[in-house]
């Protein structure tokens, strides 16, 4: 293979982007595998060896604007013009056949998806694990609440040309998440233009303009990968919806047990939780499977991994169809119980909020980068004595069963504070007594709720086997910190949840038939 490092590719405004080019030794015209990244193109050199084994491709690795060896200023999500200019440059080369496969996880996948409307006729396939089409909803924010555990460290990392270290921040993590963060930026020690962009309200920051828009039926095969413990799982689902809505070639979807970075690292588990033999990721095999399906013109491919059963299920649709799953409503009832039947009498449950002592994040779907935060089904039992955490459990299972599909909470609530959050978690109390995190959700509430008002909390989805004698539980609280930013609450306050015949509060799950 011929190799060319630090090749300057000029954009329409004269900025030069550093590009690494690999072309097969044999003569001919080749399909180009394109990877554009803000995390150093040289860091993806290992991917070249894997790609060389998959076929005769030209490979282009490029540092995005303002990162590493590329000129300019990095501004998150403003990648479309540079991607189009790079594709135009490739098409003019004598080794190019004008066809493309774009690949890369997370931000790299978004960069590729941005140009689907413009270059869909020349892009054969896009392989995009853990990615997004809507930067505001699902990545930077979730239901209007800042993904603090990701947004702040990522801002530090990307606000300089070469990856910035969290060591530049005085103090230790996660302590530096606390306080009035916008007022502390100057003392934290990094150029803060990325962070300030994240803090801008939706209406003034072109968030909708940055969303991927697909206005015509697709010819491109898109393969999406999501993880049950990836904080961007909701973004993966919205990406799937957006690509499906375009019509034409439907996207593939692979849902596994991983955290955000664990998929590419092929981790065998998270924390003390072992996935099993079938749960170990193999990104190279998934990429090759996508290429094979693209060449063969195969039908849509959807599969989901069942935690603890160590088994994959092939699906015809996502969410799973009513023929495959049955919806169950788990109602909040007296004695902090969960029942399939609606409550027969009214119960009120109080959450005593102390803004100086937020509920700590323990495992779950968090980014792996910040120290002291580790994704996975961590035991939540240490929260059981808190006055600001409501915990409800169902009866022990009389037989094993499988949960697969979306999880939703519909709760009747009040709040004394002019601004607050309602947070939820789904738990599994296993045979060893661990109360393991499965999934979570959050909703921001603006204005006092003097009368009981129903809220809906999207808790994404899960696939897991529940064994005989084990119990499902749910938590309701006001914070999950530092995964999410805190609401503006000045002092102790009270939030309540009610469940009654007229106003039943419940959690909705899907169980395999």
User: Domains along the chain?
Assistant: 2-134+216-315 (3.40.50.1820), 141-204 (no CATH), 325-512 (2.60.120.260)
pTM: 0.96
How does strand 419-429 pair with strand 435-446?
antiparallel
| pLDDT at res. 185 | 62
| pLDDT at res. 226 | 98
What does each C-alpha distance from 81 to 101, 106, 116, 437, 445 come to in angstroms?
A: 18, 19, 12, 41, 38
Distance CA 54, CA 50 (A): 7
| Mean pLDDT, 10 residues at a time, the chain of 513 residues | 86 98 91 97 86 83 97 96 98 97 97 97 98 94 93 88 74 59 61 83 77 96 98 98 98 97 91 94 93 97 98 98 97 98 97 95 90 90 97 98 98 97 98 96 96 98 98 98 93 98 98 97
Considering only CA atoms, which of 115, 162, 116, 105 is closest in space to residue 139?
A: 105
Residue at token pair 């599969």: 303
Estimate the share of the chain in helix, then strand, then coil, as percent rounded to the nearest 5: 20, 35, 40
| pLDDT at res. 183 | 56
Q: For 115, list phi and psi in degrees, rounded to 5.
A: -105, 15
| pLDDT at res. 170 | 57
| pLDDT at res. 412 | 98
DSSP tag of 177: G
Class of residue 112 by CB neighbours under 10 A (exposed 0-12, middle 13-18, buried 19+): buried
In sequence order, what are the beta bridge partners of 3? 22
Number of residues that this document lists for the chain: 513
Distance CA 469, CA 395 (A): 8
Q: For 218, list phi and psi in degrees, rounded to 5.
A: -85, 145
| pLDDT at res. 474 | 98
Residues contacting residue 27 through CB under 8 Å, at least 6 positions apart? none
């Amino acid at each position: 293979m011929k190799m060319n490092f630090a090749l300057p590719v000029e954009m329409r405004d004269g900025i030069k982007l550093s590009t690494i080019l690999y072309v097969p030794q044999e003569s001919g015209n080749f399909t180009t595998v394109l990877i554009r990244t803000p995390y150093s193109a040289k860091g993806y050199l290992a991917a070249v060896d894997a790609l060389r084994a998959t076929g005769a491709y030209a490979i282009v690795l490029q540092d995005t604007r303002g990162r590493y060896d590329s000129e300019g200023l990095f501004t998150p999500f403003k990648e479309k013009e540079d991607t189009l200019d790079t594709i135009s440059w490739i098409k003019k080369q004598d080794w190019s056949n004008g066809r493309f496969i774009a690949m890369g996880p997370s931000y790299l996948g978004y960069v590729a998806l941005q140009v689907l409307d413009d270059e869909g006729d020349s892009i054969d396939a896009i392989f995009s694990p853990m990615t997004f089409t809507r930067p505001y909803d699902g990545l930077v924010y979730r239901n209007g609440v800042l993904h603090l555990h990701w947004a702040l460290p990522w801002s530090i990392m990307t606000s300089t040309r070469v990856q910035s270290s969290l060591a530049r921040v005085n103090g230790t993590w996660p302590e530096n998440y606390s306080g009035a963060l916008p007022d502390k930026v100057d003392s934290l020690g990094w150029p803060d233009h990325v962070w300030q962009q994240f803090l801008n309200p939706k209406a003034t920051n072109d968030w909708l303009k940055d969303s991927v828009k697909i206005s015509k039926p697709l010819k491109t095969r898109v393969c999406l990968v999501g993880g049950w413990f990836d904080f961007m799982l909701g973004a993966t689902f919205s990406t799937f919806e957006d690509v499906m809505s375009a019509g034409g070639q439907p996207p593939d979807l692979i849902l596994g047990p991983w955290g955000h970075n664990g998929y590419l690292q092929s981790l065998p588990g998270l924390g003390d939780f072992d996935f099993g033999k079938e749960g170990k990721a193999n990104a190279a095999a998934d990429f090759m499977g996508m290429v094979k399906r693209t060449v063969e013109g195969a039908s849509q491919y959807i599969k989901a991994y069942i935690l603890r059963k160590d088994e994959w299920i092939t699906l015809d649709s996502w969410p799973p169809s009513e023929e495959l799953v049955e919806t169950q409503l788990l109602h909040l009832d007296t004695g902090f119980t969960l029942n399939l039947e609606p409550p027969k009498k009214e119960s009120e449950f109080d959450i005593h909020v102390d803004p100086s002592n937020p509920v700590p994040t323990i495992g779950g779907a968090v980014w792996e980068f910040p120290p002291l935060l580790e994704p996975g089904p961590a035991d939540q039992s240490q929260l059981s004595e808190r006055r600001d955490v409501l915990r409800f459990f169902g009866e022990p299972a009389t037989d094993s069963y499988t949960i697969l599909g979306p999880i939703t909470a519909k709760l009747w609530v009040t709040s004394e504070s002019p601004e607050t959050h309602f947070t939820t978690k789904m738990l599994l109390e296993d045979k060893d007594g661990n109360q393991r995190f499965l999934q979570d959700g959050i909703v921001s509430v603006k204005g006092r709720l003097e009368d009981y008002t129903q809220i809906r909390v999207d808790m994404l989805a899960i696939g897991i086997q529940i064994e005989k004698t084990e119990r499902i539980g749910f938590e309701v609280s006001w914070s999950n910190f530092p995964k999410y930013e805190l609401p503006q609450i000045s002092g102790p306050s009270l939030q309540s949840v009610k469940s009654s015949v007229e106003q039943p509060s419940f959690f909705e799950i899907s169980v395999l038939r």
